[in-house]
A = this chain, B = another copy of it.
Amino acid sequence: MTDLINRQIVLKSRPVGAPTESNFELIDSSVPEPSEGQFLARTIYLTVDPYMRGRMSGLKTYIDPQPVNAVMQGGTVSQVIKSRHGKFSEGDFLLGFDGWQEYAVSDGKGAQKLDPLKGSLSLALGVLGMPGLTAYSGLLDMGKPKAGETVVVSAAAGAVGSVVGQIAKIKGCRAVGFAGSAEKCQIVKKEFGFDACINYKTENLHDALRIACPQGIDVYFDNVAGDILDAVLQQINVGARIPLVGMISQYNAVEPPPGPNLLPVLIKRATIQGFIVSDHFNRMPEFLRDVSQWIKEGPLKYREHLVHGIDEAPRAFLGLFRGENVGKVIVQVSDDPHRLAS
């Protein structure tokens, strides 16, 4: 046993409807010594993502549910502080899946080394990680945008949506976003370079779409489902592609709400296709090559919303459903020796 104290967030109870802070508990536990073939790592960053809500419900979907009374699972960036593992040495930075806790002992399965000189370590949880790959592969492989087409994306100020619109622009498309405030819409247009952004909380969806998409809609990258999907379907072009990537508008619903009428899908011979990023890990090399280059050369911007301290993780997670933040929400749990002061 080490003499470290490990603060951990556990799922205390499964939420019915919208989760609250009372579904989580902060506990202290001890940190075991790593055995032969293991290492001990200190968490630097952890990610909170909307998909975690589904796992909290206890239903088996495409992955096992998050167990109750166990540490919340999720991706992390950490640094090895003690190693009895052949491949990972003290000081190494890793992308792993250690969850919402300050320390973790691991056998290294699934962990990948990160090079801190190649860019901010936290990007491995955002624009250069799962959210970025989701945007890249969902748009390019399923959306198949062609230059001159119109690409619409919901949650456009978010970690995935902001990247979708920018890749659409890089590919020569018109990019139109949906976001939940005037301030977000400004950022989506000015910073992320979308051609238009619709405030779905205040604007008439149909009228606003008609103005923003004078040539109709060829690709709709759906992060939210609900009314926005319904409105988009009314204005799709023949052969439209609709990657169904997220449904954040309904993750807290107690009963699944009805979906959109699908007559436009028939009439326009459109394709709706479900997307889960783990099916697309084979695209990682091209994704990292392209997105790193776009970041370096300028056409792809990203934002991070950094929150500090393990105890803030539940609140940061709950904020995702209230649309509180712009860009990728990251919880910084301990010091990052390579981070520039911001």
Which residues of B lie under 8 Å from residue A258 when comparing CB positions?
Answer: 258-261
CB distance from A10 to the nearest CB of B (A): 25
The answer to whether A144 has its CB under 8 Å from any CB of chain B is no
Closest B residue, CB atoms, query A264: B274
Q: Are A273 and B269 in contact (CB under 8 A)?
A: yes
Q: Which of A1-9, A66-74, A243-251 contacts B (4 or more CB under 8 A)?
A: A243-251
- Which of A257, A258, A275: most chain B CB closer than 10 A? A258
CB distance from A141 to the nearest CB of B (A): 12
The answer to whether A199 has its CB under 8 Å from any CB of chain B is no
Which residues of B lie under 8 Å from residue A269 when comparing CB positions?
Answer: 273-276, 279
Instruction: Kindly identify which residue among B260, B262, B266 contacts A276, using a CB–CB cutoff of 8 Å.
Output: B266
Complexed CA–CA distance, A238 and B276 (Å): 11
Complexed CA–CA distance, A196 and B156 (Å): 46
Complexed CA–CA distance, A246 and B267 (Å): 10
Which residues of B lie under 8 Å from residue A266 when comparing CB positions?
Answer: 244-247, 274-276
Q: Are B272 and A62 in contact (CB under 8 A)?
A: no
Complexed CA–CA distance, A255 and B77 (Å): 51
Q: Are A261 and B259 in contact (CB under 8 A)?
A: yes
- Which of A256, A257, A261, A275: most chain B CB closer than 10 A? A261
Complexed CA–CA distance, A250 and B263 (Å): 9
Q: Are B270 and A273 in contact (CB under 8 A)?
A: yes
Which residues of B lie under 8 Å from residue A272 when comparing CB positions?
Answer: 262, 265, 271-273
Q: Are B279 and A274 in contact (CB under 8 A)?
A: no
The answer to whether A85 has its CB under 8 Å from any CB of chain B is no
Instruction: Kindly identify which residue among B259, B276, B279 contacts A259, using a CB–CB cutoff of 8 Å.
Output: B259
CB distance from A283 to the nearest CB of B (A): 15
Q: Are B274 and A265 in contact (CB under 8 A)?
A: yes
- Which of A62, A246, A267, A271: most chain B CB closer than 10 A? A267
The answer to whether A268 has its CB under 8 Å from any CB of chain B is yes
The answer to whether A225 has its CB under 8 Å from any CB of chain B is yes
The answer to whether A342 has its CB under 8 Å from any CB of chain B is no
The answer to whether A61 has its CB under 8 Å from any CB of chain B is yes
Which residues of B lie under 8 Å from residue A61 when comparing CB positions?
Answer: 267
Complexed CA–CA distance, A246 and B259 (Å): 18
Which residues of B lie under 8 Å from residue A250 when comparing CB positions?
Answer: 261, 263
Which residues of B lie under 8 Å from residue A246 when comparing CB positions?
Answer: 266
CB distance from A90 to the nearest CB of B (A): 41
Which residues of B lie under 8 Å from residue A273 when comparing CB positions?
Answer: 265, 269-272
28 contacting pairs across A/B (C-beta < 8 A): A61-B267, A62-B268, A225-B262, A225-B263, A244-B266, A246-B266, A247-B262, A247-B266, A256-B263, A258-B259, A258-B260, A259-B259, A259-B261, A259-B262, A260-B262, A262-B272, A262-B274, A265-B272, A265-B274, A266-B274, A266-B275, A267-B274, A269-B274, A269-B276, A269-B279, A270-B273, A272-B272, A272-B273
Interface of A toward B, CB cutoff 8 Å: 61-62, 225, 229, 238, 244-247, 250, 256-263, 265-276, 279
